[in-house]
Amino acid sequence: MSSAEQTRDGVSLTNLDQPLAPGVGASKRDLVDYLDAVHGRLVPWLRDRPLSVVRALRGQAPFMQKNLPKYTPDWVRRTSVWAEASHRDVSYALCDDRRTLLWFANQRAVEYHPTLSTADRPGHPTHLVLDLDPPEGADFGVAVAAARLVRQALTDAGLAGAVKTSGAKGLHVLVPVDGATSAEEAAAATRALAVRAERLDPALATTAFIREDRGGRVFVDSTRAGGASLVAVFSPRLRPGLPVSYPVGWDDLGAVAPTDFTVRTVPALVADRDPWAGLLPPPQRLPADLVEQGRGIPVARVQAMHEGRRRARARRAAQSP
């Protein structure tokens, strides 16, 4: 077997010396070696959750794969989820072990996006997520400042959360919730927290879903709810240098940059411990007033769709003779 081919845990790994993707500056071997090195940290956050992956095949644009291909080995666990948008059942992988992770790595799966709920309890997310997206070209410091607004909103509500880099330019704040929390309650509470964070400093943060309405502010995205997925902690991102979504203590946020955490630096950082497990607070019950407030706030994506249609009608009317 050539140096470009290996077998690990019964999985054949091929073409390891090929570039992963244009502009990434890493090989397929770099991806495989990283995922194998951190499998003990990453797999627990993927286990039992329907998984979408971003793959980088040679000669193709990167794409997100939800439905498992027909050639998937029988030993890869899977679960069927009804997709309302496409009106069909989707067969999602459950990445529960090293072997499955290595199989995905050989398929050039770079990013790992599990759902917020487990396969056996799809209507009960285990976390709320507030996704902080800074404007194009902004310094990472504005995302940090917005994260601190979210933390204050959480504190004011009697809740606690933990923060990780997105692996791109933003931050994710996660709030563990107890098992009784429904998807509807979680979505409502997330909307309320986003609005409360925005009100703390409306010059810095916005909940405007339409990009042109954000005015150079950090978008506090409350739409990752229900059956949504989120890039997993310790997952690589398909960007130059292969950065990694990585946990950061609240007090350390101002001293780091997203580029500090890559497939080359993270294995040593997690060799002796799981920093994410140490930062996440225990599951919490959502305050009733927070949920009730959120129920009165429109879903940002739906509101934006209606507003987009209204603006299109207005443009057409203005252009008509």
Quick one: which of 216, 201, 232, 218 has its CA closest to 52?
232
Distance separating alpha carbons of residues 220 and 243, to the nearest angstrom: 22
Report how far residue 296's alpha carbon sits from residue 306's, in angstroms, rounded to the nearest whole number.
17
The encoded tokens of residue 243 equal 């950065």
Residue 5: per-residue pLDDT: 84
Residue 141 has pLDDT above 70, yes or no: yes
Mean of per-residue pLDDT scores for the chain:
93
Distance between CA atoms of residues 194 and 205, nearest Å: 9
Are the C-beta atoms of 118 and 179 separated by less than 8 Å?
no
pLDDT at 2 over 80: no
Extract the tokens encoding 145.
Answer: 């400042």
Q: What is the mean pLDDT of residues 188-200?
A: 98
CA distance 257 to 89: 40
User: Does residue 16 carry a pLDDT above 90?
Assistant: yes
pLDDT of 82 higher than 90: no
Which is more confidently placed, 102 or 312? 102
Residue 75 one-letter amino acid: W
pTM of the model as a whole = 0.93
pLDDT tens digits along 245-264: 999 999 999 999 999 999 99
Q: Please give the backbone phi and psi of residue 174, each rounded to the nearest 5 degrees, phi first.
A: -115, 140
pLDDT of residue 85: 75
Domains of the chain and any CATH numbers: 26-120+229-275 (3.90.920.10), 127-227+282-307 (3.30.70.3300)
What digits encode the pLDDT tens for the residues 58-72?
989 999 999 999 999
> 76, 93 in Cβ contact below 8 A?
yes
What pLDDT was estimated at residue 226? Answer: 77
For the four alpha carbons of 294, 300, 301 and 304, in that order, the dihedral sign comes to: positive
The pLDDT tens digits for 96-139 are: 999 999 999 999 999 999 999 999 999 999 999 999 999 999 99
Q: What is the pLDDT of residue 87?
A: 81
